[in-house]
Structure 1
Amino acid sequence: MEFRVLGPVSAWQDDGEVPLDGAKQRTVLAALLLARGRTVPDTRLCELLWGERPPATFAAQLYNYVSRLRKYLGDGVEIVRQWSGYLIRIGAGRLDLDEFERLAGLGRRALRTGEHREAARLLHAALALWRGTTLANVTDQLVEAEAHRMTELRMAVLEHRIDADLLLGRQVELVLELTDLVTTYPLHERVRSQLMTALARCDRQADALAVYHEGRRVLAEELGVDPGPALVEAYQAVLAGTPVPAVEAPEVTDRGRRPVHPAMLPPAADDFCGRAEELRRLTGLLAGPASAAPPTALLTGMAGIGKTALALRAAHLCRPDFPDGQLYADLGGTRGNAPDPHDVLGWFLRSLGNSEAQIPTRLDERERLYRSQLAGRRVLVLLDNAADDAQVRPLLPGDPSCRVLLTCRGRLSELPGVTRMEVGILGPVQALALFAAIVGPQRVSAEPAAARRIVQMCGRLSIGIRVAAARLIARPHWSLGYLAQRLAHERFRLDELRLGTLDVRARIEGSYQALGEDSQVALRRLALLRTAEHPIGATARVLGVSRRVGEEVAETLVDARLLEVAGSDGGRRQRHRFHNLVRVFAREKADRADRRIMAGGREGGARPAVGVRHREDIAALGTVGW
Structure 2
Amino acid sequence: MRINLLGPLQAHGDDHRVDLAPAAQKVRQTLALLALNAGRVVRFEQLMDELWDDDPPASAHTALQTYVYQLRKRFSLGNPRSGGAVRAASPLLGTVDGGYQLSLPAAHVDVFRCEPLLSRARAEFRDEDFARARDTVTAALQLWRDDALVDVRKGPMLQAEAVRLNELRTSAHHLRIEADLQLGRHHEVLGELTSMAGREPTNEWAQRNLMTALYRMDRRAEALGVYRRARERIATELGLDPSPELQALHMAVLSSDDELLRPAGRLTAVTATTRTPCHLPAPRERLTGRDGQLGLITAALAGRARADRPLVIVGGAPGTGKSELCLHAAHQVSGHYPDGRLYARLRDGMGRRVRHAEILRSFLRGLGAREEQLRMAATDLSLLFRTWTADLRVLVVLDDVCAVQDLTPLLPSGPGCGVVIGSRRRLFVSSSAVHVELAGLPFEDCLHVLASSVPSHRTTMDPEGLRRLAGLCRGLPGALFAVAGQLRRRPHWTARQATAWVLASAGADSDPLGVRAGFDRTLAALPAESRSLVHALLSGAPDRLTPALVAATLGIGDQRAEDLLEELAESYLLRPRHPCANGKFSYEWEPGVRPIAARHSDAPVMCSA
Secondary structure of 1:114's partner?
helix
Are 1:535 and 2:550 matched, yes or no?
A: no
Superposition deviation, residue 517 in structure 1: 4.5
Q: Name structure 2 gaps, 5 residues minimum.
A: 1-22, 24-51, 57-153, 178-187, 207-227, 233-266
Q: Are the structure 2 counterparts of residues 369 and 588 from structure 1 closer, same or farther at C-alpha, using a change threshold of 3 Å?
A: closer
Asked if the contact 1:291/1:401 (under 8 Å) is kept, the reply is: no
Asked if the contact 1:565–1:577 (Cα under 8 Å) also holds between the matched residues in 2, the reply is: yes
| Counterpart code for 2:365 | R
Q: Deviations over 1:2-59 (max 9, x none)?
A: xxxxxxxxxxxx9xxxxxxxxxxxxxxxxxxxxxxxxxxxxxxxxxxxxxxxxxxxxx
1:114 aligns with 2:220: no
Mapping of 1:219-234 within 5 angstroms?
A: none
Contact 2:347 2:400 in 1 (8 A): yes
**1:294 and 1:564, CA in 2 relative to 1: closer, same or farther beyond 3 A?**
same
**In the alignment, which residue of structure 1 is the partner of 2:401?**
386
Selected match of 1:478 from 493, 505, 510: 493
Q: SS of the residue aligned with 2:592?
A: helix
- Structure 1 window deviating more from structure 2 (392-401 vs 265-274): it is 265-274
Letter in 1 for 2:560: V
SS of residue in 2 equivalent to 1:437: helix
- Counterparts of 1:59-78 in structure 2, within 5 Å, are none
1:442-500 Cα shifts (integer Å, max 9, x gaps): 545302212221221122212111211111112222212111123234853773516xx
Q: Could you say which residue in structure 1 is the equivalent of 2:10?
A: none
Matched, 1:561 2:572: yes
Aligned AA for 1:376?
A: D
User: How do 1:66-105 and structure 2 match up within 5 A?
Assistant: 91=156
- Whether the aligned pair in 1 keeps the contact of 2:339 and 2:394 (CA below 8 Å) is yes
Partner amino acid, structure 2, of 1:403: G
Of 299, 320, 324 in structure 2, the residue corresponding to residue 284 of structure 1 is 299
Q: Which residue of 1 aligns with 2:537?
A: 526
For residues 334 and 202 of structure 2, what CA distance do their matches in structure 1 show?
A: 43
Amino acid at match of 1:352: L
C-alpha spacing 1:453/1:357, structure 2 compared with 1 (3 Å): same
Within 5 Å, which residues of 2 pair with 1:563-602?
Answer: 563-570=574-581, 572-591=583-602
State the 1:405 CA deviation.
0.6
Structure 2 CA distance for partners of 1:570 and 1:323, relative to 1, 3 Å: farther
> Aligned partners of 2:397, 2:528: CA distance in 1, in Å?
33
Render the CA deviation track for 1:227-283: whole Å, top value 9, x for unaligned.
xxxxxxxxxxxxxxxxxxxxxxxxx98648676422222112343212111011111
- Any residues of structure 2 matched to 1:538-553 within 5 Å, and which? 538-553=549-564
**For 1:394 and 1:514, how far apart are their aligned partners in 2?**
19
TM normalised by structure 1 equals 0.53
Q: Is the 8 A contact 2:507 2:598 kept in 1?
A: no
The percentage of counterpart residues that share the same residue type is 26
Distance across 1 between alignment mates of 2:533 and 2:382: 41
**1:350 matches 2:365:** yes
Which of 453, 463, 488 is equivalent to 2:468?
A: 453
**Deviations, residues 280-322 of structure 1 (Å, cap 9, x unaligned):** 1111111112534211100011222100111111112222222
Alignment match, 1:319 = 334
TM-aligned CA distance change 1:276 to 1:444, over 3 Å: farther
| 8 Å CA contact 1:76, 1:91 repeated in 2 | no
1:263/1:325 contact within 8 Å kept: yes
Question: In the aligned structure 2, how far is the partner of 1:256 from the partner of 1:578?
Answer: 50
CA shift, 1:555, in A, is 1.5
Rounded to whole Å, the distance in 1 between the matches of 2:548 and 2:401 is: 31
* Equivalent position amino acid for 1:396 in 2: L
Alpha-carbon distance between aligned partners in 1 of 2:497 and 2:543, rounded to the nearest angstrom: 26
Question: Aligned partners of 1:92 and 1:400: how far apart in 2?
Answer: 22
Give the letter aligned to residue 377 of structure 2: R
CA contact (8 A) 1:334 1:511 kept: no
The residue number in structure 2 matching 1:295 is 310
Q: How many residues align?
A: 382
Amino acid across the alignment from 1:448: P
Q: Secondary structure of the equivalent of 1:430?
A: helix
Q: Which residue of 1 aligns with 2:378?
A: 363
Tell me the TM-score normalized by structure 2.
Answer: 0.54
SS at match of 2:447: helix
Q: Is the 8 A contact 2:574 2:588 kept in 1?
A: yes
Give the Cα separation in 2 of the matches to 1:452 and 1:288.
40
Aligned pair in 2 of structure 1 residues 422, 570: CA closer, same or farther (>3 Å)?
farther
**Which residue does the alignment assign to 2:523?**
512
Residue type matched to 1:532 in 2?
A: D
Secondary structure of 2:594 counterpart: helix
SS across alignment from 1:309: helix
Letter in 2 for 1:114: G
Aligned Cα root-mean-square deviation (Å)? 4.3
Whether the aligned pair in 2 keeps the contact of 1:286 and 1:318 (CA below 8 Å) is: yes
**Partner Cα distance (2:316, 2:439) in 1:** 7
